Structure 1
Amino acid sequence: MTPRVRALITASAISAAATAGYLTARHSLRAELLTVRHAATHDPLTGIHNRAGLSAAADTLITTAHTTGRPVVVVLVDLVGFKKVNDTHGHDAGDHILTVVANRLTGIAGPAGLTARLGGDEFAVITTGPATRRDAETWLADWLTHIHARLTTPVNHDGRHLAVGATFGAVLADPGHPAAVWLHRADLAMYAARAGRRTTAVFTDTTDTPADLRATDRPRDLARPTSPLAAAPTTRRAA
């Protein structure tokens, strides 16, 4: 082998090694960026979206659904009695309930829907209804009753059946406002449910909301239903 050929082989080997190293580093960087991005938009305990992740995806979901004529429902879910579970059974039990609730809500939302843990024991669901807006409010009332019963089925943990209570606030959304507006109105519906000692409420009035139902005017724990599991879920339209 001549020196020239040997030099060419060596140069080729060095180039191949450098290319392989570059590709490996690029793949590693891409994986790291994906991990960071996922961590920024997802809840570390439950694996579902956090508030930032929900906000980033919600507007697209609402717009896309309306192009196919489907109604979109935005639901806030606030667990009732969760602090008592933590205090009585420990944080492991509380974390287990949060994870089970997140899984149940993901199943309720379906593959096209979004679920998020907004913080603490508060969750959000954005999903679509049947492929027509006709009688959407009637469908929503029935659907809320069904999913409330499904969500509040007791959770098994270490041989114990732990009660899961929840208050729902919901609104039918459209692309006329950003998702943050619909989340706020769902929050108002939740306050209406608490004020009426009910488990669910639907916000239907977008212009004239009583001042005592505004989120900024009421502490979050005021007038929560005391026994949502004992009574059949009912729906009240907040006006």
Structure 2
Amino acid sequence: MTPLGRHSITAAALALAATGGYLTARRTLTAQITAARHDATHDSLTGAYNRAGLTAAAPDLIAAAGRARRPVVVALVDLVGFKAVNDRHGHDAGDHILTTVAGRLAGIAGPAGIAARLGGDEFALVTTGPAARLADAERWLAGWLPHIHGRLTTPVTWHHGDPLAVGATIGATLATTDQPLSAWLTAADRAMYAARDQRTTTATAAPTIPPAVRRREMARPTSRLATAYPRAA
């Protein structure tokens, strides 16, 4: 092989190595960016969305449901008796409950919905319902809340099959596209506090539309729906 030939092969090899190194570095950087974005929008313990992730993802879900004329429920969930589990069984048991509840909420939300852990033992859920008309949606929500309450409060299996009691207070509202997510979270939060004031583990639905919007757009009020359950041990 001539010196010129050897030089050409060496140059080609160096160029290929440089290209391969660039592609590897690019793939590594892309993976790091993807991981960083995921970490910024998801809870590290449960894998559910965090508050930032919920805020970013929920408006698109609500808008898409509005275009499809499907109702959207925004719900807040506050666990009851969680501190007692931590105190009695330790933080590993508490973490197990949080992870289990997050998984249950993800199953309830479905592939298009959003389950989020907002912090501590407070969760949020944004998902769609099957009804198309407002009245149907409210009837659906009235029956749906006891259903999800039952799923969330099923005792969690712990070491050696020991059951851990899970209680939950749920506040919910039906959301539309004419208000930001913060308005619906506020409405769901009011419903949850109203349920908590009853000193029961309760599933409560707030009025579908916040009062200011309701006065402007609806002639008749929507009554609050509530179903009470005994407080979990």
| Shared fold, TM over 0.5 | yes
Equivalent in the alignment of 1:203: 206
- After superposition, give the CA deviation of every residue in 1:33-59 in whole Å (9 maximum; x if it has no partner): 111111110001100100000110000
Question: Whole-Å Cα distance in 1 between the matches of residues 190 and 27 of structure 2?
Answer: 46
- After superposition, give the CA deviation of every residue in 1:122-163 in whole Å (9 maximum; x if it has no partner): 000000000412411111010001110111000110131110
Question: Whole-Å Cα distance in 2 between the matches of residues 80 and 36 of structure 1?
Answer: 33
- After superposition, give the CA deviation of every residue in 1:181-215 in whole Å (9 maximum; x if it has no partner): 1111110110111122340111106127xxxxxxx
Question: Whole-Å Cα distance in 2 between the matches of residues 150 and 36 of structure 1?
Answer: 32
Equivalent in the alignment of 1:148: 149
The structure that is helix-richer by fraction is 2
* Stretches of structure 1 lacking an aligned partner (at least 5 in a row): 209-224, 231-239
Equivalent in the alignment of 1:178: 180
Picking from 160, 163, 183, the partner of 1:161 is: 163
- Measured after TM superposition, the shift of residue 77 of structure 1 is 0.2
User: 2:131·2:140 contact (CA, 8 Å) conserved in 1?
Assistant: no
How much identity, in percent, do the aligned residues show? 62
- After superposition, give the CA deviation of every residue in 1:69-106 in whole Å (9 maximum; x if it has no partner): 10000000000000000001100000000010001111
- Residue 130 of structure 1: SS of its match in structure 2? coil
- Residue 135 of structure 1: SS of its match in structure 2? helix
- Measured after TM superposition, the shift of residue 229 of structure 1 is 3.9
Question: Whole-Å Cα distance in 2 between the matches of residues 100 and 20 of structure 1?
Answer: 43
Question: Whole-Å Cα distance in 2 between the matches of residues 171 and 47 of structure 1?
Answer: 25
Counterparts in 2 of 1:201 and 1:226: CA distance versus 1, 3 Å? closer
Question: Whole-Å Cα distance in 2 between the matches of residues 195 and 135 of structure 1?
Answer: 28
| Off by >4 Å, runs of 4+ in structure 1 | none
Equivalent in the alignment of 2:30: 30
Equivalent in the alignment of 2:193: 191
- Residue 118 of structure 2: SS of its match in structure 1? strand
AA at the equivalent of 2:163: H
User: 1:86·1:93 contact (CA, 8 Å) conserved in 2?
Assistant: yes
Equivalent in the alignment of 1:221: none
Q: TM-score, normalised by structure 1?
A: 0.86
- Residue 211 of structure 2: SS of its match in structure 1? coil
- After superposition, give the CA deviation of every residue in 1:12-35 in whole Å (9 maximum; x if it has no partner): 000000000000000001001111
User: 2:183·2:210 contact (CA, 8 Å) conserved in 1?
Assistant: no
Equivalent in the alignment of 1:137: 138
Equivalent in the alignment of 1:213: none
- Measured after TM superposition, the shift of residue 227 of structure 1 is 4.1
- Measured after TM superposition, the shift of residue 2 of structure 1 is 1.4
Question: Whole-Å Cα distance in 2 between the matches of residues 173 and 46 of structure 1?
Answer: 26
Question: Whole-Å Cα distance in 1 between the matches of residues 129 and 107 of structure 2?
Answer: 14
Deviates more, 1:162-171 or 1:128-137: 128-137
- Residue 14 of structure 1: SS of its match in structure 2? helix
Question: Whole-Å Cα distance in 2 between the matches of residues 9 and 156 of structure 1?
Answer: 65
